[in-house]
Amino acid sequence: MASTVVLADIGGTNARFALAGGGGAGEVARFAVADYASFDDAMDRFLQMRRAVAGRPIAAAIAIAGPVSRGAGSLTNSHWRFSEADISERFGIPNVRLLNDFEALAWGLPLLRPEHLTRIVGRHPAAGYGAVRPPGGPTPGSNGRLVAVGPGTGLGVACLDPDGGGGMVIASEGGHVNAPSWSARIDAIIDWLRSDLGHVSVERMVSGQGLENTYRAVAALEGKPARLQDAAAITGAALDRSDPVAVETVDIFCAMLGEIAGNYALTFGASGGVYIAGGIAPRIIDLLQASEFRERFVAKGRFRTWLEPVPTWLVLHPNPTFLGLEAVASRAVVENL
């Protein structure tokens, strides 16, 4: 693209912005969502910072951690609201595309290179390893549908179907389906959380807040004080094995992530693979590889043999959503020529 395009990845905690002009996304600027009253304020700050190179952008692609409908949406875990029409008018940008953050990430899956991925094989060979690392990166056109699942502030889910003219992404709010159980221990944890939270969605257990929720539940069931208060402290204590409650919490997190990833693979028919993104999983990669993730992924009764060949990948790219956003922005410009 010869002209400037604004890319924005807006989560519940951080808002990330970059400019793209044909050579990929430039330097990413990050702002804390809590520091700004609205998206417009954060966008205005970013454009002021990049005024010398931004000029007047011809397009913007904005991914948000929340549902989008008819060009408008809001963050699930913040008060920020968005409208394509309002953003276009406010900033004088003719082509604005608003989409769910995992819809954007799914568009970027074919653009991931081998160095951006590591295969999650699990600790049980019987759980199946899936396909080997694809040479040259994923090839969705030949490998079937791909699913992206990502625990961060919340839990995102989307599917890329490569068939048809240019492919299609199916966005979802899969993070808000009921949390599944496979044992008496998980039953007890979900029951405890239900008494505290009401509805227990998978996001209530597989996210940063989910780590905190599960930690409180495990501590209560063990009759121990909930010594740690935030997700970073819990994962840190699990990594150095300094807190048995944290160790079990992260074990459950990894197993639940595998359980739901297998469910989503079956739901979407994602024979091409499942990609685990988000900020949490890369920080606990060794624990994830040593966990029950892969066993829970394939433990689907009669459909175990269907899932065993399906590869599971951990996304290591620092900003994978921007890969999809640039593709979406390019299409928006072409469609409006």
Quick one: which of 242, 235, 240, 234 has its CA closest to 216? 234
Give the CA distances from residue 36 to residues 15, 16, 45, 46, 271, in Å, rounded to whole numbers and listed in that order. Answer: 10, 13, 10, 12, 41
Residues 148 and 112: their CA atoms lie apart, in Å, by: 12
Residue 12, marked binder: yes
Residue 130, marked binder: no
Residue in this structure with the two tokens 């568009």, named with its chain if needed: 107
CB contact at 8 A, 130 and 273: yes
Residues 276 and 151: their CA atoms lie apart, in Å, by: 8
Q: Which two tokens stand for residue 75?
A: 């963050």
Residue in this structure with the two tokens 């060949």, named with its chain if needed: 309
Q: Count the neighbouring beta carbons within 10 Å of the beta carbon of residue 13.
A: 17
* Residue 232, H or E segment: helix 231-239
Residue 236, marked binder: no
Strand partners, 145: none
CB contact at 8 A, 25 and 18: yes
Residue 252, marked binder: no
Residues 58 and 53: their CA atoms lie apart, in Å, by: 13
Residue 92, marked binder: no
| Cα radius of gyration rounded to whole Å, the chain | 20
Residue in this structure with the two tokens 């892969």, named with its chain if needed: 294
Give the CA distances from residue 123 to residues 115, 183, 271, 291, in Å, rounded to whole numbers and listed in that order. Answer: 22, 19, 22, 7
Residues 272 and 142: their CA atoms lie apart, in Å, by: 8
Residue 154, marked binder: no
Say what the alpha-carbon torsion angle 42, 47, 50, 55 is, to the nearest 10 degrees: 170
Annotated binding site: 8-13
Annotated binding site for ATP: 8-13
